[in-house]
Chains A and B, each alone.
Chain A
């Protein structure tokens, strides 16, 4: 195992175990700050809505290329995952958080089973054809790629699928 991987996993476990460390890191770290938020109102009843999941948990199909963990600025690409995927076909590539619980039950990070249950009981109308997964921890020039290229690509795919609501789960 590479030294970087060992170090990243060590800090990931530390942050999970001691939330105050995470809060301290977040206070001291620079993020792309905004004065206000974009806004699209929900104009439909939930029971008529098509719902999609997007995560930054580094989830992907075992057959897809893993996220690049060797670039210290992260990986701004995404993986498209069929919403009816067999959970056995999924894996997580991400050294910046402790995903042992997510490995055991992927619904902790990408709750596709829960979404299917809500569609079945009629709480929502339907599930999008695909879920989308990024990895978090993107900094430097990759932020520009994320904002100007890969996130708009995902937004276009969601719109083309007729998605009404998106739930996002970071890690």
Chain B
């Protein structure tokens, strides 16, 4: 898949995973495992970019004697998720017009 396209789709996927409930790195990867190929090395830059863009917030809490960073979606993140969903729909509509029912 084209990197730029995948980057945009991954942003939507990560935001979607966090929008359901507060989440953490490994849980996000586990949630998305059946949807898209994503690893820790791919996830870190996405989380950082989304955080610096104000689309999610983080907090660190203790879990089983160690620290774990939790991610929460912000209002701006919800808006970005909605616009991402619409873009995916647009891509899907183009695909359908081009190829019909072909997979």
| B partners with A | no
Q: Which residues of B contact A (CB under 8 A)?
A: none
Q: Which residues of A contact B (CB under 8 A)?
A: none
